[in-house]
Copies of this chain bind each other. A is one copy, B any other.
Amino acid sequence: MTTERADAARNRAMILRATEDLLTYREAMPISVDSIAARAGVGKGTVFRRFGSRSGLFRELLAERATRIGEQISHGPPPLGPGAPPGDRLLAFLDALADLAATNATLLAAHAMACAAGRHDDPTYRRWHEHLRQLVGQLRPDLDAGYVAHVLLGAFDAELVRRTIADGGGDRLRAAVRALARCLLPPGPERSCRPGP
């Protein structure tokens, strides 16, 4: 595919927009592909053609939302972008994720629901995981960086995020994540907990 046809791009945008609308209105999961297609004013086949499956639709929507963070990680200014020390980047990245999660709770829920067990293969998830893995690896060679990266991403689990912001708002989420992240930072001079080899 060299370039996307004009009508395809238009319908693609309409479908994504319709999905957003429905996610905003209905917090509950039952957002059927039919309802999305109907609201977008296109046939159901179009949705499946463009996104492959229900999962693919939410995946792509999440990817769209995650674009900004991804770009800032790669080319943005410190501390989120390259150049800052790993500890600062880690905190900045988790802050960004917390922001994203707090403002897209329902999308996360839908994405989690749709992607089910395959969420580890989601491109967005993989990118985030890779970023975390590298930072953690630099900060704490004593930890299983890959595993810890997954656990940190699990801290933004849709249901957990929803419950947390429902009882404390986005601030509580950010604070909790931040406090948790600091536990992973290497201990300073006054911290005696020195991990073994």
Contact = CB atoms under 8 A, between A and B. Distances in A.
Give the interface SS of chain A, mostly helix, strand, loop or mixed: helix
Nearest to A189: B192
A140 B192 CA distance: 13
5 contacts: A117-B159, A120-B163, A143-B180, A151-B160, A187-B187
Interface size class of A (residues with CB under 8 A): 35 or more
A172 B155 CA distance: 21
A71 to B, nearest CB: 27
B164 A147 contact: yes
A143 B176 contact: yes
Interface in A150-197: 150-151, 154-155, 157-160, 163-164, 172-173, 175-176, 179-180, 182-189, 191-197
A150 B160 contact: yes
Interface of A: 29, 109, 112-113, 116-117, 119-120, 140, 142-144, 147-148, 150-151, 154-155, 157-160, 163-164, 172-173, 175-176, 179-180, 182-189, 191-197
Contacts of A188: 192-193
Nearest to A172: B144
A187 B176 contact: no
Contact of A193 (B117, B154, B193): B193
A67 B82 CA distance: 48
A154 B156 CA distance: 10
